[in-house]
Amino acid sequence: MTKSSVGKLAVLLAIAAGIAYWFWPASPERIIKKQLMEVAKLASFGPSEAPLAKLSNSQKLTLHFANELEILIDVPGRAHQQVFHSHDELLQAAMGARSTLGSLQVEFLDINVTVGPDKTTAVADLTARIFISGDKDFIIQEIKISLRKIEGEWLIYRLETVKTLS
């Protein structure tokens, strides 16, 4: 085999691998991680977010949650035991944050996803880093998120803050 034919074969193999990667169905872990990054993005907002965008992004955020949901937030020194049970409550909280805070940046770090043996439930453990405009320091909080596959979509049905030090 000549050098040029080896080169052509290598290029063809690289292209085939690229195509296979592109069309290969993504794993549930990858899908969930991508979705959680989207949740963090929708929870975040800048100081110049337009009024319509505020409503639209808040509504889009709720679409990542199941209709029957439970959100339990307890961040010492920041948020004392807040509980949300419905899309409406979540929407109000998201809109409320947008009206009272100048800006909010949410990052999800170290996302560990464990898919259940039935492949229809999953649990994600992550660290949230939250920047609020005007604050000197960011908030660090470990979070546990439970998801369920409903009609082909992974939806969050429970989100709770974790006490790293209990």
Partner 1 sequence: MLPTYQDHRVNFVNMLAYRYSEPKRGDVVTIKLAGPSVMFMKRIVGLPGETIAFHRGHAIINGEPLNEPYVKNPCDWEIPPRTLGADEYYFVGDNRSMPEYDHTKGVAPRARIAGKVLL
Pairwise CA distance, residues 43 & 143, whole Å: 15
Residues 119-138 as x/- pattern, contact with partner 1 by CB under 8 A: ------xxx-x-------x-
Written as one letter, the residue type at 75 is: V
CA dihedral 131, 135, 138, 139 (to 10 degrees): -90
Largest CA distance in the chain: 71
Cβ atoms of 90 and 79 within 8 Å: the answer is: no
Residues 63-82 as x/- pattern, contact with partner 1 by CB under 8 A: -------------xx-----
Q: Is 164 in the site for partner 1 (CB under 8 A)?
A: yes
Q: Is 29 in the site for partner 1 (CB under 8 A)?
A: no
Q: Closest separation between CB of residue 79 and partner 1, Å? A: 12
Reported as type and span, the H/E element at residue 113 is strand 104-115
Q: Which is nearer to partner 1, 31 or 111 (CB)?
A: 111
- Judged by CB under 8 A, how many residues of this single chain contact partner 1? 18
Residues that bind partner 1 (CB under 8 A): 76-77, 109-112, 125-127, 129, 137, 140, 142-143, 163-166
